[in-house]
Amino acid sequence: MSRHSMPLLLIATMLPMLTHGFVESKYLKTRVFYEPSGCEENIFYNYLKTTTSSTPSSCGLQCSTTTDCRRIMFDRKTKICLMFESGENCFHHENIEDKDCYRLRYVASGQNYTRCPIGYYGDTCQNIIEDCSDGFNRFRPVQLISYIKPAASDKVLVANCHFNWDGMTYVQYRFSKCLEEDFNRTWTEYVNGFGHNHGEHWLGLQNMYNILQNYDSYKLQIYLSINGQGWQHYYYSFHLQNETSAFRFSKSRIKGHSEFPAGDSLTNGSYSLEGRPFSTYDRDQSNNDCPDRFKGGWWYLDDPVCSRGNLNGRRNATNFESRIHWLDNLGTLTDFSEVQIRLTRE
């Protein structure tokens, strides 16, 4: 699987069955990726503890008997065992070839499953949430990587969730201390998603569309921050059309955060992108080369201005329009630590 592939499928290598008294658990081997050490500061690191183990199996056994542990990374040389609360794949800043990653399938005691992967629930982990709002009352009110399955789809997704504030599903996540993901991607990649949940990624327009079919009304949230100072803007009754209609969007009203509004660079006056088709460099519907100029896919105007915001641009481009920016309220700021696009049921 390439760096540009969304890690939605599991590698079907299984850690041997682990038992401890009446407790039984099973793990699936996943993947280890490189990220700079600063990426561990992102809100989805979900680290629990570090210990030592002689083998991956003994590391897994310690995880099975550690509250909330659902993923391990074992270093075959140093015998260090790292435990995490959620997630599918692992990352580290050095010697990734020496490390193995496993995610928990279940922990069982007798006939009942006592610990399921985040997103699954039920006596045998037989149920799965439709989106992060659906998991709002089921999981701890923190940021976790979760499995979801929108009602309109037969595909299980790996999604970044905040199980507080009515449950937020992350459509896009960017963090300046992780590897920078290239957002200047093809139409197919924007439809299906790309990147890695532990770092920068785009969930996918089709997945976003399917999530929006789960419930009558959703709020889209734009969030940008610089060194802990965040700004937000909200778009209520947010809807997407399907791929045939190029994923055009609509909304009923907007609202800025009461103290720190980001401003409306999405639907502001004559620069409104509402009703505009989504464009990528290989399917440009802007007639102004906007995806190539802004270095990312987006809803662009049929106008040389293209857009007053660029959330899918580059961190350190030489010209302003291709850098991450959000003109309304935030002006020429470009050094954003985090950029997030989130969906929440209203």
The mean pLDDT values, 10 residues at a time, for the chain of 346 residues are: 36 58 73 98 97 95 94 98 98 98 87 88 94 96 98 97 98 98 99 97 99 98 97 98 99 97 97 99 98 99 98 97 98 98 98
Residue 18: the pLDDT is 61
pLDDT tens, residue by residue, 32-57: 999 999 999 999 999 999 999 999 99
Residue 42 CA to residue 40 CA, distance in Å, equals: 5
pLDDT tens, residue by residue, 159-193: 999 999 999 999 999 999 999 999 999 999 999 99
Residue 3: the pLDDT is 36
Residue 20: the pLDDT is 52
| Cα torsion 264, 266, 267, 271: sign | positive
Domains, the chain, in order of start with CATH, read: 13-115 (3.50.4.10), 130-345 (3.90.215.10)
Residue 337 CA to residue 220 CA, distance in Å, equals: 20
End-to-end CA separation in angstroms for the chain: 37
Residue 9: the pLDDT is 37
Indicate the residue type of 36.
Answer: P
What are the residues whose beta carbons fall under 8 Å from the beta carbon of 20, sequence distance 6 or more? 61, 64, 65
Residue 108: the pLDDT is 83
Taking the CA atoms of the chain, what radius of gyration do you get in angstroms?
21
Residue 24: the pLDDT is 59
DSSP 261: B
